[in-house]
Amino acid sequence: LAKTTQPISMDSYEGQEVNITCSHNNIATNDYITWYQQFPSQGPRFIIQGYKTKVTNEVASLFIPADRKSSTLSLPRVSLSDTAVYYCLVGDGYKLSFGAGTTVTVRA
Amino acid sequence: EAQVTQNPRYLITVTGKKLTVTCSQNMNHEYMSWYRQDPGLGLRQIYYSMNVEVTDKGDVPEGYKVSRKEKRNFPLILESPSPNQTSLYFCASSWGDSMNNEQFFGPGTRLTVL
């Protein structure tokens, strides 16, 4: 499994855009990049997944440069309800490693 | 409603008393997995199952057993629980392999071993 590195925490204010960058220098050719969101005492929830370039859905955007050694999750115009832990996962197959994630705190 | 259910949601037990945490999904998913979550450590995978009768170890399998006799159920068994297994446990399921498919998580089981 590719090791991922992401910031431990980030603070933001309502209405701002939040960008969380995940480093995965040893990503393999077949690996996908997946992000999950977790609220306290709840199970993680899938946000977005990508392989290269840019992926966008109704919740977020995922930017992946050509070398795929990093990726950036972008949350547009965050609200208080976006306060959560965000996990970057990289891999292919069945074994998953979530790591400690990035705690995003959105303030009014 | 498509969902993953876990029972019990909360459990306090004593060291050495065998227990089972059940997990069931109604989405006909092939893949199921168990995780434990401890403060500052994120989620760590305990065991996973690619299909009926096919299971494999995750990162922290010691002290746990699993079985997959039916596609919808994937119970987690603690034969002789110890205090270091006090944790928040999550079950998850997905179509096919877990990295390329969205995983659906259950509500969690908070276990305390005294």
**Rounded-to-integer distance, Cα A47 and Cα A51, Å:** 14
Which one of B100, B101, B104 would you mutate to disrupt binding with A, by most A Cβ within 10 Å of its Cβ? B100
Q: Among all chains, which residue has been given the structure tokens 């019990």?
A: B8
For B:64-103, CB contacts with A below 8 A are: 88, 90, 92, 97-100, 102-103
DSSP string covering A94-106, please? Answer: S----BS-EEEEE
Residue A1 pLDDT: 60
Task: Give B11→chain A minimum CA distance, Å.
Answer: 15
What number is the average pLDDT over the span A16-29? Answer: 93
Check CB contact of B33 with chain A, cutoff 8 Å.
yes
B40-95 pLDDT per residue, tens: 888 899 999 999 999 999 989 999 999 999 999 999 999 999 999 999 999 999 98
**Rounded-to-integer distance, Cα B9 and Cα B49, Å:** 22
Average pLDDT for chain A: 92
Handedness of CA B76, A43, A85, A32 (dihedral sign): positive
Check CB contact of B40 with chain A, cutoff 8 Å.
yes
Output b/e per residue, B63-92; b: 16+ Cβ within 10 A.
ebebbbeeebebbbebeebeeebbbbbbbb
Check CB contact of B45 with chain A, cutoff 8 Å.
yes
**Rounded-to-integer distance, Cα B92 and Cα B107, Å:** 10
Residue B87 pLDDT: 97
Interface of A with B (CB under 8 A): 31-32, 34, 36, 41-46, 49, 87, 89, 91-101
Task: Give A66→chain B minimum CA distance, Å.
Answer: 20
Inter-residue contact B36 to B89 (CB < 8 Å): yes
Q: How confident is the model at residue A41 (pLDDT cuts 50, 70, 90)?
A: confident
